[in-house]
Structure 1
Amino acid sequence: MSEASARVLVRSAGMDDLPALAALFDGYRVFYGEPSDLARASAFLRQRLERGDSHLLLAVDGQGMALGFTQLYPLFTSVGTAPIELLNDLFVAPEARGWGVGRALLRKAAEDARARGAVRLELQTTVDNAVAQALYASEGWVRADGFIVFNKGL
């Protein structure tokens, strides 16, 4: 772990953070095989911030340099009759990996979701993302065996 990890601050992101967030979000999309499109990334995040329909967290170092982000969407569990949140996106800049940024983002996401009344966080990751899976497990996340996820394009 780097000395920089001791100075990682995770905070709610706002419109002033849009340029840094968009750059990270574009990197996230590229990681998942999408072509780089900074304008699209910026427009999407601007809309989320304006509508307030997601919760964006930004990790920064001691000098305010953006290191990573996470985005959560509010949902509900019908069976549990309670609010939950989907941790849909988590990304750490390649140069900041291994500094504890992802761990700090996960912890702040859980803290904030709990404060908003959520009873559970959910996430999905690719089956081959062993690094992320190890991080989630080390933070107490449990694999939801017994469920299959279906998608339908519209």
Structure 2
Amino acid sequence: MNGQAQAAAQQDVPSPAEDSAPASAPGVAVRAAGEADVEAAAVLFRGYLDFYEVDIEDPDAPRAFLAERIAKDESLVLLADVPEAGMVGFAQVYRGFSSLSLRTAWVLNDLYVAPEGRRTGAGRALLREVLRRAREAGVSGVQLETAYDNTVAQGLYEAEGFVREEFHVYFHGLG
């Protein structure tokens, strides 16, 4: 989804053991994923890849990708649980740097809520938890991208204070 450089500034993302975040929406529990959560998170990740129509040749690749990110502490993966619906959403954040602010910045690379979890506040809870943790870590800001036609997500992001930038995003695929 995002061609940003994702440098590993390990000290800027709390580990799952440091997770004590309250949910920001009534009834939604948001927590950091650990290695024991890889299988459940991978189901949501596959749903996210399907949403963006990404063809995956190896059906185990999404699980392996998440497992490696979590094991190496290269990303923060958050999970959202909704009563009577279960684990319905996930977000994945990578660390990067902002040359313009001379500080660490976060890239909210992935945010997905499964159809059964939509309109429960899970997406908003995940987004707010990312922002809470970013403030706590002292980063300069959180950047994200979404599809031009994903107006539901755009409405959520703008309602939560994200501002559409006047930059064009370019990407050159290598393979």
> Deviation digits for residues 41-92 of structure 1, max 9, x if unmatched?
1000001011111111000124682110000000111121011100000000
Superposed, 1:50-129 pairs within 5 Å as 50-62=71-83, 65-129=86-150
With 82-91 and 58-67 compared, the bigger mean Cα shift is at 58-67
Q: Which residue of 2 aligns with 1:34?
A: 54
Give the number of the structure whose residues are more often helix, by fraction: 1
Query: What secondary structure does 2:26 align onto?
Result: helix
* Structure with the larger RCO, 1 or 2 (CA within 8 Å, 6+ apart): 2
Counterpart amino acid of residue 111 in structure 2: L
**Corresponding residue of 1:20:** 40
Deviations 1:105-128 (A, max 9, x none): 000000112222212000000110
> Is the contact between residue 22 and residue 38 of structure 1 (CA under 8 Å) also seen in structure 2?
no
SS of equivalent residue, structure 1 residue 35: coil
Gaps of 5+ in 2: 1-24
The range that moved more, 9-18 or 37-46, is 37-46
Structure 1 residues 5-28: Cα deviation after superposition (integer angstroms, max 9, x where no partner): 621101111111111100000000
> When the two structures are aligned, how many residues end up with a matched partner?
149
RMSD value over aligned CA atoms? 1.5
Higher mean displacement: 50-59 or 32-41: 32-41
Distance in 1, Cα, partners of 2:103 & 2:115: 36
**Amino acid in structure 2 at the alignment position of 1:44:** F
Q: Is the 8 A contact 2:28 2:122 kept in 1?
A: yes
Corresponding letter in the other structure for 1:91: Y
Closer, same or farther: CA 127–54 of 1 in aligned 2, 3 Å: same
In structure 1, list runs of 5 or more residues that go unmatched. none
**Partner Cα distance (2:136, 2:62) in 1:** 28
Q: Give the CA deviation at 1:95.
A: 0.6
Quick one: structure 1 residues 61 and 38, their matched pair in 2 at CA, closer, same or farther if it must change by over 3 Å? farther
